[in-house]
């Protein structure tokens, strides 16, 4: 699978759209917070919604590539997969601290082919790929 700047632009668009969804949910009060494994391991409704949005978007665009999301935590059994943290920094997000991001990476086994980070507080996107 060859990944180019066009693919990077597509995934950046998905990450930014997921970030917009997260912001809307927070502003509307729909980002309810729940505890996962401990008091400091949180999940919000926005985490779950953003992961679902990312999963659906990437499945339409790249149907042959599986997805491993932090919230669903279903490890794919394929060589190529998306690795997604819909809100990296959920604790910050839940406490209205602007240091959180949407992270999406395309993996081929243990090799990262594309990594995208959208920083919600700064409205800045970073991406990298080999080469």
pLDDT, tens digit (0-9, with 9 covering 90-100), for 29-46: 766 666 666 665 567 788
Question: What was the pLDDT predicted at 122?
Answer: 95
Q: Quick: pLDDT tens for 63-92.
A: 999 999 988 877 788 999 999 999 998 888
pLDDT confidence of residue 27: 82
pLDDT for the residue numbered 39:
62
Identify the CATH assignment for 5-128 out of 3.20.20.100, 3.30.450.20, 3.20.20.70, 3.30.540.10.
3.30.540.10
pLDDT at 30: 63
Whether the pLDDT of residue 47 is over 70: the answer is yes
User: Tokens 């999963």, residue?
Assistant: 55
Distance between the two ends of the chain, CA-based, in angstroms?
Answer: 15
Q: pTM for the full model?
A: 0.90
| pLDDT value at residue 31 | 63
The residue extents of the domains of the chain are 5-128
**Ordered DSSP codes for the chain:** ----HHHHHHHHHHHHHHHHHHHHHHHHT---EEEEEETTEEEEHHHHHHHHHHHHHHHHH-TT-EEEETTT----SSSEEEEEEEEETHHHHHTT-S--EEEEEEEETTEEEEEEEEETTTTEEEEE---
User: Bridge-partner residues for 122, per DSSP?
Assistant: none
Mean pLDDT across the chain, nearest whole number? 90
């Amino acid at each position: 699978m060859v990944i180019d700047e066009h693919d990077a632009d597509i995934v950046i668009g998905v990450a930014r759209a997921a970030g917009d969804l997260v912001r809307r949910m927070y502003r509307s009060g729909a980002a309810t917070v729940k505890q996962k494994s401990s008091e400091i391991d949180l999940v919000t409704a926005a985490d779950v919604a953003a992961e679902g949005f990312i999963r659906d978007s990437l499945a339409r665009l790249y149907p042959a590539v599986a997805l491993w999301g932090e919230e669903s935590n279903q490890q794919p059994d394929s060589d190529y997969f998306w690795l997604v943290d819909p809100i990296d920094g959920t604790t910050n997000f839940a406490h209205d601290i602007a240091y959180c991001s949407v992270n999406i990476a395309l993996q081929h086994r243990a090799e990262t082919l594309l990594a995208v980070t959208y920083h919600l507080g700064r409205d800045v996107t970073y991406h990298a790929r080999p080469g």
